[in-house]
Structure 1
Amino acid sequence: MKRTEPSRTTESTRGQAHVLEGVVAALLILTSVIFALQVTAVTPLTASTANQHLQTQGAGTVSGLLVAAEDRGTLRDTVLYWNESASRFHKSGAEEQYTDSIPTEFGSTLESTVSPKGLIYNVNVLSVNTAGQVVEHQMLHQGQPSDQAVSITRSVTVYDDDRLRDVNESQIDQTVSNSTGYFASEVSEGPLYNVVRIEVVVWRV
């Protein structure tokens, strides 16, 4: 009986199939290696992503806190918490700033809200001087912000007849327009004294 030889077409088809299988196998191996490397690389980034998420949550909390403090007047009390005789905020240190927390109702609320989240924060007060330049006064300084720090601000309009606060946050007779050492300058001839911006910078170490 005469044996039928396999056709060249069949051999060619089988050869192409083997080549294709080899390519697919190589791609599977390559994909597996890449996937394994990606899984390994995700590990150190996970903490960073979690930290950023936590800071973003903290920023949202601080934003709401600033709005509430403005409505209650405690943000204004803090801006006016000025010791005229010492030319600094009441109970602030030798460098005219706080290093732990601000001893006002707003400061206490901020501390009890932010610190339990594992976040560190600074508080700056910014105003415009008579030359139109922005002047920053560091009210609370807890450290150097990280690259992922988030900044939240809220403005307080200060008027000529706004009274300074004593150490207990009670109004005194002296107004900001009669103050000689207040941190913000008077920039208007009308009833407006200045617009002070409170900046809270939060981050996680």
Structure 2
Amino acid sequence: MDGKSPRRIKTDTSAQLHTLESLITLILITGVIVFTVQATSLTPLTSSTANAHIEAQLQTLAQDMLSVLDHSTSGQNSSLKDDILNWNGEEYAWNSTDYVSEENSILTGSSTANILMDIITPKGIAHNVEFAMISDTGSIMTLPYIFNGEPSDNAVVVSRRVLLSNSDMSNPTQFQYTTGIPDADKSTDFYNLIDVKLTLWRM
């Protein structure tokens, strides 16, 4: 011993308090972040995901409607086939009340128009119905039945094929003149194969 008193280590209480405050602040911030992440739904809600969901719903809806229209009991035409056979060749558009042609005639007695009015128009869903078929030259031609404008990029298209025979109509020649649907094979009872295309899209 040299007689000197032991050296005392100075403690800076102020620095310790600052460190403690920083630690508490860090813990609080971490807790807030964890709570926020757990409380927020992480389900992807991007516009593309939402559009895909809407398109899937429209696809199912369109398929169901065409399935109902194309159903027929034994020995009877389906409602969809009758709508084609009874068509007057005019193009119709929805005017918020009825389906009206450019000649101001109202589409009546159409099961297709009725199901669209009951299910589609109240939901504000835009829609087109077109008949695609084989032309006289063997190419594919399309005639509008109900047309409400050009569909958007996220539109869905569902189709159903309906076979027409000469025996389905009283006068095949008059039917072709009225509708514009040609007789694809005049040598047989086969008249044409109609691809009914239903297009749905959100405005």
- What's the TM-score once normalised by structure 2's chain length? 0.63
Q: Distance in 2 between matches of 1:59 and 1:108?
A: 19
What is the Cα-based RMSD across aligned positions, in Å?
2.6
Q: Distance in 1 between matches of 2:193 and 2:134?
A: 8
Asked if the contact 1:62–1:114 (Cα under 8 Å) also holds between the matched residues in 2, the reply is: no
Aligned identity (percent) is 24
Deviations 1:30-73 (A, max 9, x none): xxxxx9xxxxxx87x43x53344223212211112111211131
1: distance between equivalents of 2:192 and 2:158? 20
1:80 is matched with 85
Residues 80 and 152 (structure 1 numbering): CA distance in 2 closer, same or farther, change over 3 Å? same
Q: How many residues align?
A: 145
* Cα distance, 1:154 vs structure 2: 0.3
Query: Which whole-Å CA distance do the structure 1 matches of 2:163 and 2:127 have between them?
Result: 23
Corresponding letter in the other structure for 1:175: N
Q: Within the alignment, does 1:131 sit opposite 2:137 as a pair?
A: yes
Counterparts of 1:178 and 1:115, CA distance in 2:
33
Task: Pick closer, same or farther for the CA change 1:64–1:180 going to 2, 3 Å.
Answer: closer
Closer/same/farther in 2, CA of residues 180 and 149 from structure 1, 3 Å limit: closer
Q: Does 1:175 align with 2:171?
A: yes
Aligned to 1:97: 91
Q: Which runs of 5+ in 2 are unaligned?
A: 1-36, 38-43, 73-77, 100-106
1:105 to 1:66, Cα distance in 2 relative to 1, 3 A: same
The aligned counterpart of 2:158 is: 152
- Letter of the 1:67 counterpart: S
In structure 1, stretches of 5+ residues that fail to align are 1-34, 36-41, 89-95, 164-173
After the TM superposition, which residues 10-159 of structure 1 pair with which residues of structure 2 at under 5 Å, given as runs? 45-46=46-47, 49-72=49-72, 73-83=78-88, 88=89, 96-100=90-94, 101=99, 103=108, 104-159=110-165
The separation in 2 between residues aligned to 1:58 and 1:111, in whole angstroms, is 15
- Superposed CA offset, 1:148-184 (max 9, x none): 1110000100000112xxxxxxxxxx33345351321
Structure 1 residues 127, 76: closer, same or farther in 2, change over 3 A? same
Secondary structure, counterpart of 2:138 in structure 1: coil
Amino acid across the alignment from 2:181: A
Write the letter of the residue equivalent to 2:140: V
CA shift, 1:117, in A, is 3.3
Classify 1:70/1:180 alpha carbon distance in 2 versus 1 (closer, same or farther; 3 Å): closer
CA distance, structure 2, for counterparts of residue 180 and residue 132 of structure 1: 16
Residue type matched to 1:176 in 2?
Answer: P
AA at the equivalent of 2:198 = V
Q: Which is higher, the Rg of structure 1 or of structure 2?
A: 2
1:118 Cα deviation after fit: 3.2
CA change 1:124–1:175 in 2 (3 A) is same
